[in-house]
């Protein structure tokens, strides 16, 4: 049974903010796939009506994709990703952080300090905070001061060396022990294998969706793709997987029928940088409202969260935990690491395989690591003749007009290039 909140919730600022974005996503575009109704309805129920979804076992909040969720599922608990995209909570979080801080971190703090958090996560039994960027590291003590139980999952600052790998494997093993202590459930090989199989099925569904987005013309829009992956933050993993599988079938059919979700010559955009997190989908929406189509992304609210698979050599418990640790470290292209050649490589691969015309790079104001990496990414793309639009922004709606003008100009310049080449 689900628990409904009083009707007045509909009128709260966070509900109206979510509703406004959902209206954009659904009403300003024709021919939304029927398979998206599951996700539209889910977000309306959870974000606009304040419905609390039923959760199994204890609830473990995570503040970044670096926390291996399979371990949480394997001890009978439910992971809930706490990265938040609401401007309403960003403003509340401003009381905790310096003015020029990342909106994502501020909104997460604002949501956790609120009496009225959305999604309705209830009482969290533990919050796992991987020690990634400085702002997330320092947020840990603040979250604890709000009365939450926090576990710092220690991540190495580099990822190439064998020392870093061993350090991280030790961290993940200790995390598994801590989870068992908190939940009172022993981590078993059988439960972990089952949890890994569930995640693998979700990843297979995501990968199929990802492949479908290679089609030319596009059969699916990026605004919907981000909504699908954002639902993974809080939805039941099996329901989510089934909904994505159903959506994929419909998109497959669209492919056979030569359906066009965007104009045939719509500029194909690869999205990278600070992650679009509902309801802050303003940049993908502006791109698609201006006639572009986001065909792929390199962000931790979508592709990076679900694409990389776990490779297990030996199905013994320790080996499985180590294999999980490897899967969460090696392919990670977050700019928190000292070097990040993998990110450039990944972006070039995506640009090539998705026939991308341009890249939009979002950096949240105050996120130094994304700001610092933009130059090397722009150079790598430019060497391949791929233009990039760098956008520094935050969750405030104030810059929408200015962003819209810049995006339109960027898309227009891509169209002109294409015309000249033709
Ligand atoms: S941007 Fe990096 S540190 Fe922040 S949530 Fe995403 S993966 Fe984690
Ligand atoms: S966008 Fe930057 S500052 Fe914000 S969580 Fe990610 S790495 Fe940290």
pLDDT in tens, 106-164: 999 999 998 878 888 888 999 999 999 999 999 999 999 999 999 999 999 999 999 99
Q: Average the pLDDT over 378-404 and give the result.
A: 97
First to last CA, the chain: 58
64 Cβ closer than 6 Å to some ligand 1 atom: yes
**Over the stretch 235-281, which tens digit does the pLDDT of each residue have?**
999 999 999 999 999 999 999 999 999 999 999 999 999 999 999 99
Q: Which of 63, 66, 152, 329 to mutate to test the pocket of ligand 1 (most atoms within 8 A of CB)?
A: 66
Residue nearest to atom 2 of ligand 2 (CA): 367
Give the ligand at the shortest distance from the Cα of 343. 1
What's the rounded Cα separation, in Å, for the pair 218 and 356? 12
What domains are there in the chain, each with its CATH number? 218-307+336-421 (3.40.50.11900)
Give mean pLDDT, residues 371-394: 98
Contact status, residue 343 vs residue 373, Cβ threshold 8 Å: yes
Q: Shortest CA distance to 28 belongs to which of 289, 293, 279, 411?
A: 289
Task: Using most ligand atoms within 8 A of CB, pick from 102, 138, 372 the residue to mutate for ligand 2.
Answer: 102
The alpha carbon of 416 and the centre of ligand 1 are apart by a number of angstroms equal to 35
| Per-residue 3-state assignment (H helix, E strand, C coil) for 90-148 | HHHHCCCCCCCCCHHHHHHHHHHHCCCCCCCCCCCCEEEEECCCHHHHHHHHHHHHCCC
Nearest CA to ligand 2 atom 3: 367
Mean pLDDT along residues 274-294: 98
Contact 106, 97 (CB under 8 A): yes
Ligand 2 centroid distance, CA of 417 (Å)? 33
- Tell me if 102 sits within 8 A of 81, measured CB to CB: no
**130 Cα–ligand 1 center, Å:** 9
Torsion region of 287: left, alpha or beta (phi above 0 gives left; psi -120 to 50 gives alpha) = alpha
Q: Which ligand is nearest to the CA of 130?
A: 1
Q: Name the burial class of residue 385, with classes exposed (0-12), middle (13-18) and buried (19+) by CB atoms within 10 angstroms of its CB.
A: exposed
CB 224 within 8 A of CB 328: no
For residue 65, the CA-to-ligand 1 centroid distance in Å is 7
- The fraction of the chain above a pLDDT of 90, given in percent, is 91
Predicted local confidence at residue 76, as pLDDT: 97
Least confident among 65-69, 126-130, 203-207, 337-341: 337-341
Confidence (pLDDT) at 122: 82
- State the chain's mean pLDDT as an integer: 95
Ramachandran class of 271: left when φ > 0, alpha when ψ lies in -120 to 50, beta otherwise: beta
Indicate whether 23 pLDDT > 60.
yes
User: Is the separation of the CB atoms in 267 and 416 below 8 Å?
Assistant: no
Identify the three-state secondary structure at position 385.
Answer: coil
Rounded Cα distance between 90 and 117, Å, is 12
| The Cα angle at residue 409 between residues 229 and 274, in degrees rounded to 5 | 30
Question: Ligand 1 mean position to 103 CA, how many Å?
Answer: 12
Other C-beta atoms lying within 10 Å of the C-beta of residue 355:
12
* Statement: residue 5 has pLDDT above 80: no
pLDDT at 239: 97
> Looking at ligand 1, which residue's alpha carbon is closest to its atom 8?
64
Residue 82 has pLDDT above 60, yes or no: yes
Distance 67 CA to ligand 1 centre (A): 11
Residues with CB under 6 A from ligand 2: 102, 104-105, 133, 135-136, 274, 336, 364, 367, 369-370
């Amino acid at each position: 049974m689900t628990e409904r909140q009083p009707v007045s919730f509909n009128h709260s600022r966070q509900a109206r903010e979510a509703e406004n974005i959902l209206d954009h996503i659904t009403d300003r575009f024709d021919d939304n796939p029927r398979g998206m109704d599951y996700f539209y309805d889910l977000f309306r129920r959870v974000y606009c009506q304040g419905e609390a979804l039923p959760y199994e076992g204890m609830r473990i909040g995570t503040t970044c994709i670096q926390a291996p969720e399979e371990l949480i599922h394997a001890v009978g608990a439910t992971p809930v990703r706490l990265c938040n995209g609401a401007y309403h909570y960003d403003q509340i979080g401003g009381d905790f952080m310096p003015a020029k801080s990342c909106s994502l971190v501020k909104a997460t703090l604002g949501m956790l300090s609120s009496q009225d958090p959305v999604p309705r996560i209830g009482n969290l039994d533990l919050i796992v905070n991987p020690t990634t960027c400085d702002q997330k590291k320092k947020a840990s003590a603040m979250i604890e001061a709000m009365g939450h139980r926090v576990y710092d999952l220690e991540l190495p600052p580099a990822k190439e060396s064998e020392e870093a790998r061993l350090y991280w494997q030790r961290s993940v093993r200790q995390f598994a022990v801590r989870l068992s202590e908190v939940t009172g459930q022993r981590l078993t090989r059988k439960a972990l294998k089952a949890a890994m199989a569930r995640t693998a099925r979700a990843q297979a569904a995501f990968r199929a969706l990802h492949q479908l987005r290679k089609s030319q013309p596009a059969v699916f829009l990026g605004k919907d793709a981000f909504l699908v992956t954002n639902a993974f933050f809080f939805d039941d993993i099996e329901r989510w997987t089934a909904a994505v599988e159903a959506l994929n079938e419909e998109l497959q059919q669209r492919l056979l029928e030569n359906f066009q979700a965007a104009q045939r010559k719509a500029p194909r955009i690869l999205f990278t940088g600070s992650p679009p997190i509902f309801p802050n989908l303003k940049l993908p929406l502006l791109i698609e409202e201006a006639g572009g189509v986001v065909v792929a992304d390199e962000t931790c609210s979508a592709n990076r969260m679900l694409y990389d698979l776990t490779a297990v050599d030996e199905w013994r418990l320790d080996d499985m935990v180590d294999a999980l640790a490897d899967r969460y470290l090696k392919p990670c292209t977050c700019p928190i690491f000292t070097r990040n050649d993998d990110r450039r490589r990944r972006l070039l691969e995506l640009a090539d395989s998705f026939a991308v015309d341009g890249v939009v790079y979002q950096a949240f104001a105050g996120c130094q690591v994304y700001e610092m990496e933009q130059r090397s990414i722009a150079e790598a793309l430019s060497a391949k003749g791929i233009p990039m639009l760098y956008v520094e922004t935050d969750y405030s709606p104030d810059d929408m007009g200015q962003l819209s003008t810049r995006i339109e100009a960027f898309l227009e310049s891509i169209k002109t290039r294409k015309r000249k080449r033709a």
